Structure 1
Amino acid sequence: MSEPKKYCLEHTIMETAKTSYYGVSFNRYDPHDNNIFAVVGGRNVIIARLDSDKPVALKVVQTYVDDDEGENFYCCAWSVDPNIGAPLLAVAGATSIIKIINTSVGSAMKALTGHGNEINEIKFHPREPSLLFSASKDLSIRLWNLKTMQTVAIFGGECGHREPDVHLTGDFLASSGMDCAVKIWTLCTPVIKHAIGSSINSNPSSSHSQQLSQREQQSCCSPHVAPSRAVTVHYPIFSTTELHNNFIDCVRWYGDLLLSRCAADAKIVLWKPDVELVAFDKSNITTVVVGGPATPSKQQANFDIICELEFTHSDIWFIRFGFSYDFRMLATGNQVGKIYLWDTKDIPYYIDGYIEKKKAEYLVKKSSVKRKRGTRVSKSAVIKKPIILESDCKSTIRQIDFSKNSQWIVSVCDDGSIWCWKSNIDTTFQESIKGSGSSDDPLIID
């Protein structure tokens, strides 16, 4: 087994206004530059580039300050304009409005409105860069199409959900929320497929829209744009409240398995939902009532716990872990500024090449492993302790992300600091550079 990547602290930046940063995301769509990332918090969006060959490894290339003084961005996600290939950055937060920033020109070009409360997370579809999922405090997850600026589908139901993650195939959506539940929604029923297909194949550039001013075409609230009716999905195909006993603020797919974490526990649970993930629906369902009535007798709720990844000092809401692009590294921060890093080869049930096959085939395969509900792995399946990245940071780390080539890790914190770590196989962990190269003064962003 190869040695796990080692990371050393390469750079730190801190803002004088002490803005709390909540979200970070690398642009994995850029084929030429793996090291562009965005950070959001308060009214601010920072776009930066990392380059260890330069005297100063980190360079801020773009900043954006929202006009609304009540805005507080919690999340961000990258995509690409399918027509011209321009990088797009979606940001959202307290005002419930999703802003779409064209970073090639450095301005917000579109806005998506429809949610009735704060937006906690946004994710783009893994195969369709124009499709965006957003999860809100209004207890719903919306699927948007950036081509039409309309809502394609709304996933709701009792208690609703605020944290989405999309299966690598693009056929299933996992969600979690403050109801202590994890739910799985299918995107494969005929009515949802039709809604998605229609939105993707629609042509917003009709002869009538060509006569509109550029300002009207960019506004999602333009009265000249006839809104299409969104599909409403009331019931998931899987739901359980027995796995966690507190607010679940992060859930991620790992093949057909799921990782999730709740506010009361300093651990990430890897588990398998007892539900058949069938990508092709042969039924003739034409309604949007998917999964039947939300009762235990009608809904899948069993699961098998594979293992638990434990760390310390993490018992608050809104700490989100991150995966590397190849799913080989998993990292999370905690409330005292530490980063915990696992090599997923050390996790039981890992099948070499599994994730790569999923990406290539877009097929869902049933696991041959059968366990009783709630049964943990045997003691012989030892989980190695995580690598701990320590620094002078003492603040809560809200989110972590990896660059596409896993060379860099960036974490964002409550105290307005951004910490950048670079992989270094040949050296031990050490704190090296702060700010503009001085060991005393951090780089200040005006």
Structure 2
Amino acid sequence: MENYSLHGSSSGDEDGGGDGSGVDGEAFRGTSPLRQVPEQRLLSPILASRWRRLGTFLVPWLPPATTPEPDSLRRSQRKGTTPAAAASAAAAASAAAAAAAKALAERKAREKGKGKLDEQEKGKDAPEPQPLTGRMARLGPGQGLGCEAAEGSLTPSKSREYKLCSKHAEGKRPLYAIGFNFIDARYYDVFATVGGNRVTTYRALPDGNLAILQSYIDEDNLQSFYTLSWASDLDGSPLLVAAGSNGIIRVINCATEKPFKSFVGHGDSVNEIRTQPLKPSLFISASKDESVRLWNVHTGICILIFAGGGGHRNEVLSVDFHPSDIYKIASCGMDNTVKIWSMKEFWPYVEKSFTWTDLPSKFPTKYVQFPLMTAVVHSNYVDCTRWLGDFVLSKSVDNEIILWEPKTKDQCPGEGSIDILQKYPVPDCDIWFIKFSCDFHFNQLAIGNRDGKIYVWEVQASPPVLINKLSSHQCKSPIRQTAVSFDGSTILACCEDGVIYRWDEVDHPKAKN
């Protein structure tokens, strides 16, 4: 299973590597320190009332008494509110509802008259929206927050200014994925890209340039890598997991500069890989074969397969681990749905995978056929999803990202309801396989579009605040994925034309060097 070759190079003279300085595997060696929980920060007042269950991994837990739920808050106000205060509150609510209705009307006007989606190399046109059928969670009358979802304005606040610092032409083949290493604090300035049959690692230098660290070329010349994710070996060595069109998942040890393992199991191309943040030796993969698989990077075992009776009915395009609930994952795809899955019942098999000494093929891999819930939030392909605490961010080809809350019913698996909380407009983002990213603390969200522009949102503000819109006359190709640095001071973009762009925050200390 490991009989393949990746030709590694740590020099800066590979194709398109003109300005990079070579760094060998020494840059990656050492023992990984413990991850640090981000220090507490104040959430926006409106969102804070619904963020009591977020845990401590990304956003610290808030005591229930800090801000009560909206319903309980309204009940407590009705008990002891003066008539004048009640009238004032009613007027404010009426004004808010009018503003929300106006924003919704403006958005519909902007979207009116849109034609069919452009055909892209990575897939065909998305189909026309289909009617909602089946036992799926959707927002109905009387559900949600009792008002329209908060929608962001497309007028940039300019609260953070960025400048284009550098660009790097990696080659002529499209770059589909880019990502910083958030697994190890020593390598927060290290990122990787994939495109064609090449995997490349870089360092984002303090002076705004990019330095090539290593480059790996798959022996399959027809391979086209679509996704990557960082993981960690038992000794702390950084591992890079990549996969694409041939369905084989490659794992590279960046410390030894050698192939680590190959994972075979998917029956078609792999569209996304994500690493478990609490256990970086576990990763999940989403595939065109309509399944999601959980793997152990050390033992080479496929532990669980999420597919079957309640699974996806078309390509799975994106998947993500819950940041604090180690049992939960979310997946989405071409069947227009987002599914929430639980591994709790099967967790003994996950634990068993760490001590398994027999052949990986003899491991009792289990099928998870039914999700906790299936949510219809969008009416077209859903190609990117990320957890935000207990909330979910999901993006479709309808020019917007939606923040929503899944409400699963433990007594009725497969059913539930959703609250749509906020919407983040993204103009000219009507082609699929464009993925967004966030900084480590999930303060900023960056997403590109088909015209080479990047929209940077303050993801926790309510209503959403557009921090900035980044563009350059040099960047006109579709941006397939963005990568935001640990503190949000650097934003990277990988493009359809094989070019990487780097923007740095103007007022950040490293941007002044």
Indicate whether the TM-score tops 0.5: yes
Specify which of 44, 63, 67 is matched with residue 215 of structure 2.
Answer: 63
Question: Aligned ranges for residues 357-368 of structure 1 at < 5 Å?
Answer: none
Indicate the structure with greater helix content.
2
Aligned-residue offset at 1:384: 2.9
Aligned-residue offset at 1:301: 4.1
* Cα deviation code 1:206-229 (max 9, x no counterpart): 8xxxxxxxxxxxxxxxxx655202
Give, in whole Å, the separation in 1 of the partners of 2:274 and 2:446.
19
Specify which of 239, 245, 250 is matched with residue 94 of structure 1.
Answer: 245
Give the aligned partner of residue 13 of structure 1: 168
Do the aligned partners of residues 226 and 117 (structure 1) sit closer, same or farther apart at CA in structure 2, a change above 3 Å counting?
Answer: closer
Give, in whole Å, the separation in 2 of the partners of 1:383 and 1:405.
19
Give, in whole Å, the separation in 2 of the partners of 1:33 and 1:399.
20
SS state at 2:500 partner: strand
Equivalent residues of 1:150, 1:227 under 8 A apart? no
* Cα deviation code 1:138-191 (max 9, x no counterpart): 0000001122211100001341633111101222110101000111001212xx
Give, in whole Å, the separation in 2 of the partners of 1:162 and 1:309.
20
Give, in whole Å, the separation in 1 of the partners of 2:501 and 2:353.
40
Task: Kindly report the root-mean-square deviation, in angstroms, between the aligned alpha carbons of the 2 structures.
Answer: 2.4
Alignment gaps of 5+ in structure 2: 1-41, 45-157
Question: Aligned ranges for residues 26-425 of structure 1 at < 5 Å?
Answer: 26-53=180-207, 57-82=209-234, 84-157=235-308, 158=311, 159=313, 161-169=316-324, 170-189=326-345, 192-200=346-354, 202-204=355-357, 226-241=361-376, 243-263=377-397, 265-275=398-408, 299-346=414-461, 348=462, 382-391=463-472, 392-425=474-507
Q: TM-score, normalised by structure 2?
A: 0.65
Do the aligned partners of residues 328 and 230 (structure 1) sit closer, same or farther apart at CA in structure 2, a change above 3 Å counting?
Answer: same
Aligned-residue offset at 1:128: 1.1
AA aligned opposite 1:168:
P
SS state at 2:203 partner: strand
Give the aligned partner of residue 136 of structure 2: none
* Cα deviation code 1:101-143 (max 9, x no counterpart): 0111222221000000000000111111111100000000000
Do the aligned partners of residues 34 and 23 (structure 1) sit closer, same or farther apart at CA in structure 2, a change above 3 Å counting?
Answer: same
AA aligned opposite 1:107:
K
* Cα deviation code 1:4-62 (max 9, x no counterpart): 443221110013x4110000111122322321100001111111111124xx7211111
Percent identity among equivalent residues? 35
SS state at 2:415 partner: coil
Equivalent residues of 2:159, 2:467 under 8 A apart? no
Give, in whole Å, the separation in 2 of the partners of 1:426 and 1:156.
46
| Displacement over 6 Å in runs of 4+ | none
* Cα deviation code 1:218-274 (max 9, x no counterpart): xxxxxx655202110001011023x211110001111111111112x1110111112
Greater Cα offset, 173-182 or 383-392 = 383-392
Aligned-residue offset at 1:424: 2.1
Do the aligned partners of residues 30 and 240 (structure 1) sit closer, same or farther apart at CA in structure 2, a change above 3 Å counting?
Answer: closer
Give the aligned partner of residue 376 of structure 1: none
Give, in whole Å, the separation in 2 of the partners of 1:338 and 1:407.
18
Equivalent residues of 1:89, 1:102 under 8 A apart? yes
Give, in whole Å, the separation in 1 of the partners of 2:371 and 2:460.
31
Give, in whole Å, the separation in 2 of the partners of 1:425 and 1:58.
20
SS state at 1:162 partner: strand
Do the aligned partners of residues 21 and 31 (structure 1) sit closer, same or farther apart at CA in structure 2, a change above 3 Å counting?
Answer: same
Give, in whole Å, the separation in 2 of the partners of 1:402 and 1:97.
27
Give, in whole Å, the separation in 2 of the partners of 1:148 and 1:71.
25
Equivalent residues of 1:34, 1:405 under 8 A apart? no
Give, in whole Å, the separation in 1 of the partners of 2:368 and 2:188.
37
- Equivalent pairs counted in the alignment come to 351
